[in-house]
Amino acid sequence: MINLVVLPIIVPLFIGTVLLLFRKSLLAQRALGLFGAAATLVVSLILLAKVATDGIQVVTLGSWAAPYGISLVSDMLSILLVTTASLLTLLVLWYSVYSLGEKRELSFFYPATLFMLTGINGAFTTGDIFNLFVFFEVFLMASYVLIALGGERIQLRESMKYIIVNVVAAALFVITIGYLYSITGTLNMADLAVKLGDIGSMGVISTVAIMFLVVFGIKAGIFPLYFWLPGSYYAPPLPVLALFGALLTKVGIYSITRVYTLIFTTDVVFTHDMLMMLAIATILFGSIGALAYMDVKKIIIYNIVIAVGVILFGVATFNEVAVTGSVLYLIHDMLVKALLFLMIGVLIFITGKTNLREMGGLIRHYPVLGWTYLVAVFALAGIPPLSGFAGKILILQGGLEGGFNWQSIVVALSTMVVLLSAIRIFIYAFWGTEKSFNSPPRASYVKRMVPVVILFALTMGYGVFIEVLMPLFQAAGTQLMDSSIYIDAVLGGEK
Q: Is 156 in the site for another protein (CB under 8 A)?
A: yes
CB of 160 to another protein, least distance (A): 6
Q: Which CB, 58 or 177, lies closer to another protein?
A: 177
Among 134, 268, 348, 420, binds another protein (CB under 8 A): 134
Q: Is 446 in the site for another protein (CB under 8 A)?
A: no
> Which residues 167-226 are close enough to bind another protein by CB under 8 A?
167-168, 170-171, 174-175, 177-179, 181-182, 187
- Using the contact rule CB under 8 A, the part of the chain among 5-13, 129-137, 281-289, 450-458 near another protein is 129-137
Q: Is 132 in the site for another protein (CB under 8 A)?
A: no
Q: Which CB, 154 or 202, lies closer to another protein?
A: 154
CB of 175 to another protein, least distance (A): 6
CB of 259 to another protein, least distance (A): 18
CB of 185 to another protein, least distance (A): 9
CB of 152 to another protein, least distance (A): 8
- Using the contact rule CB under 8 A, the part of the chain among 36-44, 90-98, 137-145, 471-479 near another protein is 137-145
Q: How far is residue 179's CA from residue 201's CA, in Å, rounded to a whole number?
A: 16
Q: Is 159 in the site for another protein (CB under 8 A)?
A: yes
CB of 147 to another protein, least distance (A): 10
Q: Is 270 in the site for another protein (CB under 8 A)?
A: no
Q: Which CB, 46 or 163, lies closer to another protein?
A: 163
Q: Is 163 in the site for another protein (CB under 8 A)?
A: yes
Answer yes or no: are the C-beta atoms of 95 and 240 closer than 8 Å. Answer: no
Q: Is 137 in the site for another protein (CB under 8 A)?
A: yes
CB of 187 to another protein, least distance (A): 8
Q: Which CB, 180 or 312, lies closer to another protein?
A: 180
> Which residues 403-432 are close enough to bind another protein by CB under 8 A?
none
Q: Which CB, 49 or 175, lies closer to another protein?
A: 175
CB of 300 to another protein, least distance (A): 21
> Which residues 46-85 are close enough to bind another protein by CB under 8 A?
none
Chain positions contacting another protein, by CB under 8 A? 130, 133-134, 137, 141, 144, 148, 151, 153-154, 156-157, 159-161, 163-164, 167-168, 170-171, 174-175, 177-179, 181-182, 187
